[in-house]
Chain A
Amino acid sequence: MLTMKDLSKVYRTHLVETHALREFSIHVDEGEFVAVTGPSGSGKTTFMNIAGLLEEHTGGSYQLDGIEVSGLSDSQRSKIRNEKLGFIFQGFNLIPDLNLFDNVDVPLRYRGFSSRERKQRIEKALEQVGLASRRRHYPAELSGGQQQRVAIARALAGDPRILLADEPTGNLDSAMARSVMEILEGINADGTTIIMVTHDPELAARARRNVHIIDGQVTDLTSTFANTEVGVEAELGATA
């Protein structure tokens, strides 16, 4: 589903060169729930941005659902993002002047679905997160947990192959965090691959596989997956 091999990401300014990821290799199989942990500045977000085609990598190769994404044009990357990926952010990132229905509608508009199909998908996604009755409400009228559920509905509406969640519970209290986590587990149980960055060891433990990133490299791999043959290979290029 997702394979990065010897991937590197270097940020350059006229004064300094920063290696955010180096010789970074990971493979994620379809249906996995991978928790990515690591200290601040370790490269977790860079990994997620590259995985989500929001940034381009500097070196190495990256295959997403069988497509080598290196060198793709902006419109090709946008199309893949729209069709294969779903995003959940720590800050929810809902558009404040659109109601819930129109927020969930955003990725579907770029997908080019008909009005009828968009409506069906939006209603189904909002029902899935328990907010169908509030579809005409605006984000500011919802609690943090509800906003994150809308973000999940928005991510799910297009039936993505992979859900990328960057600290999805970081802004939520523990009860809301648990509720969001339960929804994510349900989504994963339905077959959607999830990669989730988290600082919370308790949430990480609930994932089926843990990947630890430090200094831009995968330094630790703790699989809670019982059958390691099924899915997981995360390799540390430099230290393997």
Chain B
Amino acid sequence: MTRYYLWLALRSLKGSPWLSGLMVLAIALGIGAFMTCYAIFHAMAGNPIPHKSDQLYSVRLDTWSPDEPYMEPDLPPDQLTYRDARYLAEAGKARYQTAMFRVGMAVQPDNPDVKPMFSVGRMTYSDFFPMFEPRFLYGGPWSREQDGDHSPVVVLSRELNDKVFGGENSVGRKLTLDASDYTVVGVLDTFNPVPRYYDVINGSAFGDEDEFYLPFTLNDQLQKRSIGNNSCWKAPPENSYQGYLDSECVWLGFWVQLDSDADRRAYKDFLDNYVREQKKLGRFERPLNNHLDDVMSWLKVQRVVADDAHIQLGLSFAFLIVCLLNTVGLMLAKFLRRSGEVGVRRALGASRVQIFLQYLAESGLLGVGGALAGLGLAVFGLAVVRKISPDIEVLTHLDTGLLLFALAVSVAASLLAGLYPAWRACRIAPAAQLKSQ
């Protein structure tokens, strides 16, 4: 009977093209607006590394002022001081651990046809790569030994490798950054998790990907400062780079991989013991307040999904409801206009359930039409968002999952909208209709 219901639905829709078009448009507008906002929200709120998001932890230690918390209610700073980050990284108590910060450097290609350029990269430890699992096009990461040796090596992004080496396998070749040469050991495939969970603090959760990666330990010579956030609650002990490194300024992200609860507890104990020891040296004047946040907790703590996104999603959902209510009204008018036909069908043997299903099929078909048109509007809406805000371009894509979700939402919404009109249609008393025909 399903085919019969769909055939009848199709005939009915073709029989009243304007009214059907109006209903499809109402659904499409609602779905289009909702899916535009939902696509952005979904990208913001998604789990960027689902298979191990509960094994990766951001580390926070409360080195802040004894007079006031870094942030209410009694939250520690989001980043670490250089001293703490360096110690934790080299203590090696977790399976993997890395400190990191973003740097800007000038790239000077050997090829005279390629102009020098400013490039943003990341200084980090070799553990960054097995922790966050970027895929390599060529070569691989540098080793822990090279961390220790301060080796002048570099891993390039696909984009920078394309620009400087024309996309060739550049492993073993030299790249000049800020007038120093580095040996390319690896080239990543496109690596831009959304959101960029391991560095959401510096306003780069949805920004461009890093173009190169250098060993953190090289900074002993480079003496770079982060191009990201830097927060201090008291002045450095002396006005020099070493003074900055020894200061209580926080500017380094720190992540560890802990594979089990036992590992997590052990690492927390290690952090607490470290802070207790530091307290004896006159640091960490606030009560013990160390935090380990896994990826999803970290994104929540950092409010990666902005309140605005929640509000927009809520408003677009409300708009979808308004559109559906309009559709309910239109469907009701259309279905009840066919009361006579319902009476005839009932007399000829259709049960209430069959009439209900017939009209529900028509609602579903309207939903499919609304979904297709709505997806078109969503694609258009996202293109407009891209145009207006190029910096969140990465959030404005509809993948297959979202397309299927939109289709499911639209059909479900239309079926929902069709429930009441279909129910009213199936409750029509046939006798009254047959006499009045």
Contacts and interface: CB of A to CB of B under 8 A. Distances in A.
- Residue among B1, B343, B351, B352 having the largest count of chain A Cβ atoms under 10 Å: B351
Contacts of A31: none
A52 B429 CA distance: 13
B343 A78 contact: no
A54 B431 contact: yes
Contact of B434 (A89, A94, A154, A158): A89
Interface stretch (A103-111, A174-182, A223-231, A232-240): A103-111
Interface in A61-116: 74-75, 78-79, 81-83, 87, 89, 91-95, 97-98, 106-107, 109-111
A78 B434 contact: no
B15 A78 contact: no
B15 A54 contact: no
A219 B428 CA distance: 33
B71 interface: no
Nearest to B12: A97
Contacts of A52: 347
Contacts of B293: none
- Residue among B341, B343, B352, B435 having the largest count of chain A Cβ atoms under 10 Å: B435
Given A54-B430, A54-B434, A93 B344 contact: yes
Interface in A145-186: 154, 158, 166
- What class of interface size applies to chain B in its complex with A? 20 to 34
A167 B345 CA distance: 19
B434 A81 contact: no
Given A75-B353, A97-B11, A82 B437 contact: no
A136 B325 CA distance: 38
A98 B56 CA distance: 64
30 contacts: A54-B347, A54-B430, A54-B434, A75-B352, A75-B353, A78-B350, A78-B354, A82-B348, A82-B349, A82-B350, A83-B349, A87-B347, A87-B348, A87-B434, A89-B434, A89-B435, A89-B437, A91-B434, A91-B437, A93-B340, A93-B343, A93-B344, A93-B434, A94-B344, A106-B345, A107-B349, A109-B1, A110-B345, A166-B434, A166-B435
- Residue among A75, A79, A110, A166 having the largest count of chain B Cβ atoms under 10 Å: A110
A166 B344 CA distance: 14
A111 B351 contact: no
Contacts of A78: 346, 349-352, 354
A74 B352 contact: yes
- Residue among B4, B341, B352 having the largest count of chain A Cβ atoms under 10 Å: B341
A83 B341 CA distance: 19
Interface string B323-353: 0000000000000000011011111111111
Contacts of A166: 434-435
Contacts of B351: 74-75, 78-79, 110
A55 B431 contact: yes
Nearest to B435: A45
Contacts, number: 73
A49 interface: yes
Nearest to B352: A74
Contacts of B352: 74-75, 78
A80 to B, nearest CB: 9
Contacts of A74: 351-353
B339 to A, nearest CB: 12
Interface in B141-185: none
Contacts of B429: 55
A162 B401 CA distance: 56
Nearest to A49: B431
A21 B61 CA distance: 88
A154 B348 contact: yes
Contacts of B4: 109
B7 to A, nearest CB: 9
Contacts of A158: 349
A204 to B, nearest CB: 20
B397 to A, nearest CB: 43
A81 B349 contact: yes
A55 B347 CA distance: 10
Given A93-B340, A95-B344, A110 B434 contact: no
A83 B350 CA distance: 11
Contacts of A55: 429, 431
Nearest to A74: B352
A158 B350 CA distance: 14
Interface in B1-51: 1, 4, 11-12, 15
A94 B431 CA distance: 15
Nearest to B4: A109
Contacts of B434: 54, 87, 89, 91, 93, 166
B435 A110 contact: no
Contacts of B431: 45, 49, 54-55
Contact of A110 (B12, B349, B430, B437): B349
A110 B350 contact: yes
Contacts of A94: 344
Nearest to B340: A93
A188 B313 CA distance: 67
A54 B437 contact: no
A111 B349 contact: yes
A89 B112 CA distance: 92
A93 B433 CA distance: 9
B316 to A, nearest CB: 37
